[in-house]
Amino acid sequence: MGNSEIKSRGERYLFNSYARADIALVQGRGVRVWDADGREYLDFVAGIAVNALGHCHPRLVAAIAEQAGKLIHCSNLYWIEPQVLLGQALVELTGLGRAFFCNSGTEANEAALKLARKYAYEKGQPNRYEIIAMEHSFHGRTMGSLAATAQDRFKGGFEPLVPGFRYVPFNDLSALREALSPETCAVILEPLQGEGGVYVAEPEYLKAVVGLCRERDVLVIFDEVQCGMGRTGAWFAYQHYGVRPDILTLAKALGGGMPIGAMLARQEVAEAFRPGDHGSTFGGNPLACAAALATVQTIREEGLVENAALQGAYLRRRLEELAAEFPFVRQVRGLGLLLGVELSLPGQPVVRACESRGLLINCAAGSVLRLVPPLVVSRGEIDRAVEILREVFSEVEAGKLPGDGRQGEDKPCSRAGG
């Protein structure tokens, strides 16, 4: 089937819950993907920061094939060797105490929210249930994670949400200090907000948040579902700041494309969960964990954290050249290979125009182009992506971009979220 037929059947049989492009991707290799009509694209979406190793990395393919030939699923009623090895690897990388595995980022955050409340309960403080989150945050689409998400556009039509959440401005320590109460059990934040518009925590702010929470006996949850696993030029974004959370959530890049999420916690906090308190039928199954273990080993052994730092700095420099050239580019921000280009106009027409030239990007918060290529991206691939962006920006400047939306409403343009 070609793009048109796949799209036509999809519109007939699938829920209309995604604003999809007219592209059906059927094959990938490294940073490049091909659609059902045989057209090639540079993939700077990478499954929304999932494909850390690029597409079909031989080590990931081999690990999945080998595990699939041995054992695909067996339930957490039994010990699972790749799960144990993955837990050990993540505990050693983070310095935290224990790992719990699930299927996605929102499940990891659900687990974190439950653990925070259970920890307070086990300490004899059942009234400490409140969790404070940050404005512009995105923590997922299940009910607890949605309640923690401070963006109304994701919540409409789903109320009443889980109670006990409050929101404060990001990078505003005074607001957080005023919001903390005797009922607060945890603060959840993304060190680098992706879906909210690629906003980075200021160094002194994040340090102060951790210090304040320690002082008030409040747990700190870092949501690194999108920014973790080497993407920012460190294994985890919080490592840029010299701090450590009480609870950490991971997903997207963890499995290199296989669905898996993880929650890690300090030993004392992790002990609040006892058998039966929480679980996941598919979470941490042998196949997903073998893929994640291969992903972690490949990131380490092929120096991909270092490549993310190196190529991320280069991409940022090239994007800042565009910002100097085109006045409608307001700002370039982010860390490593999670970068945002904020425009003074809606981003979706730019995304579409890039697609037509063979570059896949997406946008967040309506006007922020989000670039999250695989960690294996090369300088040459970055140069080509920037060349395409320059072509599209030139059309915007010349008023030639169809439906560039300058006079229109600044609508959210994220297709999948997260």
Active-site residues, by number, are 138, 223, 252
* Lookup result for tokens 């499995």: 255
DSSP string computed for 283-326:
TT-HHHHHHHHHHHHHHHHTTHHHHHHHHHHHHHHHHHHHHHH-
Three-state secondary structure of 69-134: CCCCCCCCCCCCHHHHHHHHHHHHHHCCCEEEEECCHHHHHHHHHHHHHHHHHHCCCCCCCEEEEE
- How does DSSP classify residue 45? S
* Rounded-to-integer distance, Cα 412 and Cα 393, Å: 20
Cα gap 362→186, rounded to integer Å: 32
CA distance 228 to 245: 13
**Rounded Cα gap, residues 341 and 326, in angstroms:** 12
Nearest-angstrom CA–CA distance, 152 and 146: 10
